[in-house]
Structure 1
């Protein structure tokens, strides 16, 4: 007898389907929660430099720490500038509109947006502007080309939510935040939301780090510029 059920979600690791991937990425348990830099800090507004040495303990540690920091902050993507590094690296772990999970990292990413894809307007936030979300139009498709931490070539093509993530994170490495694309009115609203919600967001990060039996990152009482 045939059985017609729902499609089983797929997990893609660096773009390739895998079986039995753990709920918490292995990198999370190897890394440390770091403080996420916030809008106004120079590292977020400065283009990054390309990685030239691969398969190093330092690069592996950075990626592990970024995964842990992303997990603690309940994020779906994180750029190296958001943990104070000037290297061209981002990590991601998200579930898309179809229920498929996408996990990985990209070193030296270069972005190509699909100008033929229908643009999409969605609420977008940023871990460096904690607690703020604003509507932002993004291209509906994008391709990221780069390498993994060992220098192996990567090409990841995405649509929808995953494409938005790739665009957001690659632009971080160019010194651009989603906030830079907003109108002055929405920028002010984002900062207002940040001021209202920041304390609760940081408290949540602290609690998740404790649940993972890790030392929480320390944040200043006030955001930069306050």
Structure 2
């Protein structure tokens, strides 16, 4: 449904979904858009699955556990590929991977649960990011206005200020940081509302930290183009 309505430029798709096969999702995506960049990311690869996915038009077929730099280069290649004709590899185009500079990229992680903030922030620090945390919307708003981060990860269901309201206030105050939304809700109205505010991704909570790191790289690539 969201792919049909939004037609994203880039999709990361897991093959093992609880209610529908990832291959079936890919087939439906290709019926809607033959050229959208779709990267398969799976922890259980096989040559047969890769053959089926590529037969359905997967842009790339990647295995969890690859070095992040490898995944980022694949994403850059997929995003740079013109439609429908092929192009030279962007690996020689002189573009830099976001985060590859000496200055670490700043992130802001916003969640009312201390354990969630601690877990994800520690992982992202190990990935080389500079991470600040906030337990609620007002604190996040103050931090973002004081020193805008490159990207903000926001829980949508916080008691003091809902994530949607926080993102709306950030935009009203001209804070242009990229935003990834975290949510355990499947309320379509909520998802539509947060997508209308221009977030680069919506991730189901709890999220695999490796997938979050990839989503952050996608967001940085998309907002630096």
Taking structure 2 as the reference length, what is the TM-score of the superposition?
0.25
Of structures 1 and 2, the one scoring higher in RCO (CA 8 A, sep 6+) is 1
More helix by share: 2
Taking structure 1 as the reference length, what is the TM-score of the superposition?
0.25
More strand by share: 1
